[in-house]
Amino acid sequence: MKTATVPTPRLTPLVDGLVATLRAFIREQHLTHDEYRQAVAFLVQTAEHGEIPLLLDVLFESTVDQVNSAGRGGTETCVEGPYYVPNAPVMSSPAVLPHRENEPGNLLFFSGAVRSTDGAPLPGAMLDLWQSDASGAYSHYNIAEADAPFNLRARVIADQNGCFDVQTWVPVPYEIPKAGPTGALLTAVGQHAWRPAHLHIRVTHAACETLTTQIFFTGDPWINADVVGAVKPSLITTLIRHDDSVEMHNRGLERPFYTLSYDFELGGAMAKAA
């Protein structure tokens, strides 16, 4: 948020409402001065560790998503999270996400189609994809950019029928960073730090609203206990394992692989300019 030089119609009630809510909380909980100072010190420490985005995403982003997506048509939204990186390489479908030599983990072929809510295909829709690797690490964050620039990140353009086909690697459940203040807070309140395995997708098309969402997998041990509270039933799908020798041969592979199919519907169609 930029520093405002004059009050704005939206900012003033937001600040007033937040302050009133926190003051009511202080009165309700009979907060002591020592507790207040501990809270201030915690926020300072969180900022010093660069964890303000992480802390707020863990505590509040799923609620913001619920409020913003109310009444929206099409595929359900999900939180963006703190690991998005803009300007990933642009590729046309079919595509292989950027990866390291001997990228660890199981191969995944992710395919589907992008349509409007009335069923019309959306040619040229762009899917901005990002995910963790097989150890739960993200490029540009806990994988050094120099070692793996845009690892498992790309913007993939769907074909003339709105279809996409992407080769990537199966993500795994992972713990959010817990060595800093955010992890210390979760431990103090008896909360774990695990997120279920997921794929991040942002889908855009000139004629529709942008969709930011995640795809989760059946059978994940954390599917019902996401630390972020972001899982929605409609976003849970099934990974299919293929270990038949003929199927592997047809893919030019010597090891089993997984497939995943999911179609996206974009709502809020807007009239194109003449």
Per-residue pLDDT tens for 225-266? 999 999 999 999 999 999 999 999 999 999 999 999 999 999
**Domain locations in the chain as residue ranges:** 90-266
Q: 101, 174 in Cβ contact below 8 A? A: no
Residue 7 has pLDDT above 80, yes or no: no
Q: Return d(Cα 147, Cα 204) in angstroms, integer.
A: 29
pTM above 0.85, yes or no: yes
pLDDT tens figures, 182-198: 999 999 999 999 999 99
pLDDT tens figures, 195-231: 999 999 999 999 999 999 999 999 999 999 999 999 9
End-to-end alpha carbon distance in the chain = 35
Chain length of the chain: 274
pLDDT tens figures, 104-137: 999 999 999 999 999 999 999 999 999 999 999 9
CATH class, domain 90-266, is mainly beta
